[in-house]
Every structure is written in C-alpha cells, then in structure tokens.
C-alpha cells in the first residue's frame, strides 16, 4: 500500500474568472502516487472520502484527506468510473465484466446493468446519479474491448428508480464522460472520437430530449466530466479543461500527467481531486469576491 503524501507543484498559479467570482488556483499537490492507471474519482460527501479506480490491477482505492490511501476493494473487474448517490451507495462501471454495479453501505453488490436487449454491453465507462436516483452511464469500448462487442453501436443509458433501463442516446462514436448540471435538468456527455461534449435536456421522467453539441474542438481526448455548483464544466483530457455552462472555454491547467478524471471534494467542496496516470492530485481553489 502506498503512503499518501503532498508535493507542491510550482508554476501552477493562475486566475480563473468564473461568473461574478474570482478563483485563484495557486498550487496543485500530489496526494498519492505509485499506481498503474487511476480513473473514476468519486467523492462521498456524506462520509467524507474519495473512491478512485486503479483499473489494470482490478482495485478500488479509498482516500480520506490527511490519511494514507487504502484498498477499498480487490477483484473489482477492471473498474473505471464511479459515483455516489445521496444515500452514499457506490456505483461502479466494470469494464471486464461489462456491467454497472451498486454497492450498499453494508458492502452488498447489486448488478444494475449488464446487457441491452439480450446482448452484453460494450464496456461501461462513466456513471452519474441524480438527486432523485436516476442513473445514467456511458458504454463505449476502447482497445481490446472493441474486439469483443456484441452491440453494433455505442450507447448512453438511463436507469430510472422504477422500471426497465432505457437507451438515452444511440451513437456511432464513443461517449465517455458523463455529468449532470446543478439543477439536474441537463445531462452532459463527452465524446472521445468527436472531441466534443453533447448536452441533453431531461424531462420530468428523466428522459433525454433536445440533443445538441455544447462544446466542440476539445484538445486531446475528453474523458470524465465534473460540474461545480455554479454549472461550470471541468473536463479531463490532456489537462483539466474548463468551460462555462454556455460552453465558453476558460483557462484550464495541467498536471504532469494526462488527466483521466476529476471531482470536487473535501469538507468545503473547493478541492478538485484529480486522477492522472498512476497518481492522485489535489488542486486547491481560493475563492474571493471579484472587484
């Protein structure tokens, strides 16, 4: 098990003007290192800890700020994206078993999705859960996964609290990251092949309508998405790319390694926790009123 530590990266100071606030990012700290390929950062706001995946080693890892990283689960079947719901249940995309699972607070694992119309899913990548327990996930296929597909399309799926799973979007190119707006009325999906982010309106049943491309021309391959309380999108790519709710690009920032996922966390929800290759980073924002 690796010991967590902090290393302050120099030269990372910048100012981001977001709406009526000024956010100063003056350091990025290395919180933990020595893993194979980290992914799927998810913050448990109810209990105050981070879950992230070390996909090639089939492990889910747990980090409590100020403590060492510990192993949360072994034999996790190639875990990728993770998410928590308001009850602190954990949702995980398992790329090797090609399914989405939910783990309750007692550790019981339930399979939520593994096939569509009798055919196995491709390889679920990222998942998000609304405040009223609607689950959305992407189903691309990367690398060797592409050679074992049963489906002839890539999907975005919706699991309502009651009733069967639905196909929210059917695509010829690969969706990857997924997130919800603060209101829960807009679903965002990054597309790794098209280098863009689509937005979908969600109706009263949680179903998708009004598909449009919100952001295009993203440098590198966009992956996971997280959204802050004001609706700004933070997209994992070569760096952390930041966009306004209207899709306007804002100054982002880089870590030493390619970024795979990020999520806001800690007690005040002002730390951006970032997985990048074999490392976990912590970016701290200082907020003050704009003059």
Q: Look up the CATH number of the domain holding residue 277.
A: 2.120.10.30
Q: 3 in a domain, yes or no?
A: no
Please say whether the dihedral angle defined by the alpha carbons of residues 257, 262, 266 and 269, taken in this order, is positive or negative. positive
Contact 30, 279 (CB under 8 A): yes
Q: 240 in a domain, yes or no?
A: yes
| pLDDT on residue 289 | 52
Q: 145 in a domain, yes or no?
A: yes
Q: 236 in a domain, yes or no?
A: yes
Residue 61, CA atoms < 13 Å, CB-side half-sphere: 32
Structure tokens at 149: 């597909």
| pLDDT on residue 90 | 98
Residue length of the chain? 291
- Structurally, the chain folds into a number of domains equal to 1
Q: 1 in a domain, yes or no?
A: no
Q: How many angstroms from the chain centroid is the CA of residue 78?
A: 16
- Measured CA to CA in angstroms, residue 192 lies from 68, 94, 125, 171, 236 at distances of 33, 19, 12, 12, 11
pTM: predicted TM-score of the whole model, two decimal places? 0.92
| pLDDT on residue 76 | 97
Contact 250, 230 (CB under 8 A): no
Residue 228 lies in domain: 8-289
**b vs e for 200-227, b when ≥16 Cβ sit within 10 Å of the residue's Cβ?**
bebeeebebeeeeebbeebeebbbbbbb
Q: 162 in a domain, yes or no?
A: yes
| pLDDT on residue 288 | 55
Alpha carbon distance 240, 253 (integer Å)? 6
Q: 261 in a domain, yes or no?
A: yes
Alpha carbon distance 231, 258 (integer Å)? 24
| pLDDT on residue 5 | 37
pLDDT string in tens for the chain (291-residue length): 344 333 344 333 344 444 434 456 767 899 999 999 999 999 999 999 999 999 999 999 999 999 999 999 999 999 999 999 999 999 999 999 999 999 999 999 999 999 999 999 999 999 999 999 999 999 999 877 777 899 999 999 999 999 999 999 999 999 999 999 999 999 999 999 999 999 999 999 999 999 999 999 998 899 999 999 999 999 999 889 999 999 999 987 777 789 999 999 999 998 999 999 999 999 987 665 544
């Amino acid at each position: 098990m690796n010991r967590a530590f902090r290393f302050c990266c120099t030269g990372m100071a910048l100012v981001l003007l977001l709406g009526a606030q000024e956010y100063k990012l003056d350091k990025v700290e290395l919180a933990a290192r020595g893993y194979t390929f980290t992914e799927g950062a998810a913050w448990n706001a109810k209990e105050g800890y981070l879950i992230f995946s070390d996909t090639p080693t089939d492990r889910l890892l747990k980090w409590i700020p100020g403590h060492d990283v510990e192993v949360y689960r072994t034999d996790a079947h190639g875990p990728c994206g993770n998410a928590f719901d308001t009850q602190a249940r954990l949702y995980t995309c398992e790329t090797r078993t090609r399914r989405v699972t939910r783990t309750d607070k007692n550790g019981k694992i339930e399979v939520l999705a593994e096939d569509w119309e009798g055919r196995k899913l491709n390889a679920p990548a990222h998942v998000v859960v609304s405040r009223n327990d609607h689950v959305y996930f992407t189903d691309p296929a990367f690398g060797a996964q592409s050679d074992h597909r049963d489906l002839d399309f890539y999907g975005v799926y919706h699991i309502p609290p009651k009733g069967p799973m639905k196909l929210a979007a059917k695509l010829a190119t690969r969706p990857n990251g997924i997130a919800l707006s603060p209101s829960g009325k807009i679903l965002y999906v990054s597309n790794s092949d098209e280098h863009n982010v689509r937005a979908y309106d969600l109706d009263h049943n949680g179903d998708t309508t009004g598909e449009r491309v919100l952001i295009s021309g993203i440098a590198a391959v966009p992956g996971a998405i997280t959204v802050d309380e004001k609706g700004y999108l933070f997209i994992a790519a070569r760096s952390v790319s930041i966009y306004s709710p209207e899709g306007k690009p804002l100054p982002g920032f880089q870590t030493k390694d390619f970024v795979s996922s990020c999520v806001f966390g800690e007690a005040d929800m002002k730390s951006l926790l970032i997985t990048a290759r074999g490392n976990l980073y912590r970016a701290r924002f200082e907020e003050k009123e704009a003059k």
